[in-house]
Amino acid sequence: MNKDLILITGANGQIASQIARDLVKEKNLDLLLLYHHRRDRLAWAEEQDSVRCLQTDLNDYASLSVLLTPTLSKCSGKIKLIHTAAIRSSDANSFQDSDPLFWMEVCSKNLIMTYNILRVALPNMKNGSRIVLYGSNVSKTGLANGSAYAAAKAAIANLAKSIAREVITRDILINVISPAPVETVLEQDYKGEYLEFRRRYFAKYKEQTPSGKLIQIQELADLTKFLISNQITNITGKEFFIEGADQ
């Protein structure tokens, strides 16, 4: 029986690592987990025969292609791509106080990483393959003191909508999950003033949303698994805003 391949970027992240742990329980799947620097949340994967972890720089198209193409081209089943990797504006400056080079770096790298992984993966995808890109609800609301990140996420959502029109005839579906603030341990990934910025942003969201809650990682994992499943046949080019309720 042909085995599907689940390709996850940013796999060491709190959301992606939970998705990977959920998927490894399913039969007839291989997982290829891509990480950049840290892999502390992937220690469990070392004991799994169906899981490979690879360190890579998604901003380097040439090396990414060399690293992934042999594996992707040999996949006998469908490729399911879950792209969660992202970088944020760690300076938390307003637009008028932003550094032009750093602003451009944050904006461009988020978009380039997405382009690169899609450009490498798509030519190797068979009919029935699925793609989920992770965006953010800031593509709808904007983000004060984070305009570069917000602009990139809006661009990624539109990229998905454009690609969806090109690959639908191959039964390849691509969608975007754009969550509001997610219940994560901020101290594990951020520090200094940017950590305080994230804390303030999350607290403000909880005050404004009717539920008073953040989005749960398991909610995102379950939706991701649905969007890469064979249960859907015509849901594509959509951006799913995951929020407690309209603020």
- Please give the full DSSP string across 198-240, using - where no structure is assigned: HHHHHHHHHHHSTT--PBPHHHHHHHHHHHTSTT-SS--S-EE
pLDDT at 191: 85
Say yes or no to pLDDT of 91 above 80: no
Q: Find out whether 226 and 232 touch, Cβ atoms under 8 Å.
A: yes
Q: Find out whether 120 and 64 touch, Cβ atoms under 8 Å.
A: yes
Query: Rounded to whole angstroms, what are the CA distances from 158 to 111, 175, 181?
Result: 11, 10, 21
pLDDT tens digits for range 53-80: 999 999 999 999 999 999 999 998 999 9
- Please give the full DSSP string across 176-203, using - where no structure is assigned: EEEESSB---GGGT--HHHHHHHHHHHH
Question: What confidence tier does 197 reach under pLDDT thresholds 50, 70, 90?
Answer: confident
Domain 4-241: homologous superfamily in CATH: NAD(P)-binding Rossmann-like Domain (3.40.50.720)
Averaged confidence pLDDT in the chain: 93
Backbone phi, then psi, for 173, in 5-degree steps? -110, 135
